[in-house]
Structure 1
Amino acid sequence: MSSNDEGLTGRGRVTVFAMFGIVFGYANHHRDQRRIGDVAVVGPLTPGVQWGRLWQMARTCGRATATDHELAQWILTQATRSFVCGSDHIAHFHEQDWKLEPGGKRVSFDATYANRDHLWTGNLTVEGLTPDQTAERPTIYRT
């Protein structure tokens, strides 16, 4: 696990989804020429929400003794669930520009999890989204 001292930009599949009222983006990044999308990139898109909120949600929903690796798995599970099932799905792009700001947290999994070897979280922006798409949603659940 490490902090993300460098920003990252990419273009590819992006799923935009809501969780506990906050809008998040889920993209993938390829670390080499194989282009297998080995890195999951997840971050908040709702204005004013910082990446730490995602980890707070994982901590609140997980067990009290969960490790950062387990919390990272929870985060990736939620993003994958939205991509596969369309749960709380707001938008899906097959080819879209995105940017992960410097800062955030990176976790490398001991073994591939949900087809990803790494999870990188941070403040995310996705080109082409409207303010309505990134606005906080009403929710009965609070974390």
Structure 2
Amino acid sequence: MSSNDEGLSGRGRVIVFHMFGTVFGYATHHLDERRIGDVAVIGPLTPGVEWPRLWQMARTCGKLAAKDTELAQWILIQATRAFVCGSDRIAKFNDQGWKLEPCGKRVSFETTYAHRDHLWTGNLTVDGLTPDQVAERPSLYSA
């Protein structure tokens, strides 16, 4: 686990989904020329929600004694579920710009998990989203 002291921007596939009322974005980043999307980039898009909320959701929904790697796996599987199943998906872009702000959280998996080697979280922005798309959603559940 490490802190993300530098921002990051990219362009590619982006999934926008909601969970427990908050809207999140999920993109991938490539660490080398193979362009295999080895880094999952996930963060809140709802105005006023900061990236630690994602980790708090994972802690609430997971085991109390879970380590950061287990929490990161929970976060990644929620984004993967939105991508694969379309559940709670708001938008899917094949080629969209995105930006991860500095000072988030990075976790490296011990082995590839859901086709990713790393999870980087932070406050995220995605080009072209409307206020309605990122607005807080009603939710029956809270985390």
Following TM superposition, the consecutive aligned residue runs of length 4 or more in structure 1 with deviations greater than 2 angstroms are none
Letter in 2 for 1:110: E
Separation in 1 of the partners of 2:61 and 2:104? 20
Q: Which residue of 2 aligns with 1:120?
A: 120
Structure 1 position 63 matched with structure 2 position 63: yes
Q: Counterparts in 2 of 1:9-88, with a 5 A limit? A: 9-88=9-88
What's the CA shift for 1:105? 0.2
**Displacement of 1:125 after TM fit?**
0.1
Question: Following TM superposition, by how much is the alpha carbon of 1:106 offset from its aligned partner in structure 2, in angstroms?
Answer: 0.1
Hey, what does 1:131 align to over in structure 2?
Answer: 131
TM-score scaled by structure 1?
A: 1.00
Question: Which secondary structure does the structure 1 equivalent of 2:59 belong to?
Answer: helix
What fraction of aligned residue pairs are identical, expressed as a percent? 78
CA deviations on 1:61-95 (whole Å, 9 max, x unpaired) are: 00111000000000000000000000100000000
Give the superposition deviation at 1:123.
0.1
Residue 56 of structure 2 aligns to which amino acid in structure 1? Q
Q: Name stretches of at least 5 consecutive residues in structure 2 with no aligned partner.
A: none
**1:118: how far off?**
0.2
SS in 2 for 1:132: helix
Q: CA RMSD in A?
A: 0.3
TM-score for the superposition, normalised by structure 2: 1.00
Q: Whole-Å Cα distance in 2 between the matches of residues 85 and 123 of structure 1?
A: 24
Q: Residue 104 of structure 2 corresponds to which residue in structure 1?
A: 104
Number of matched residues?
Answer: 143
Q: Please give the secondary structure, in 2, of the residue aligned with 1:142.
A: coil
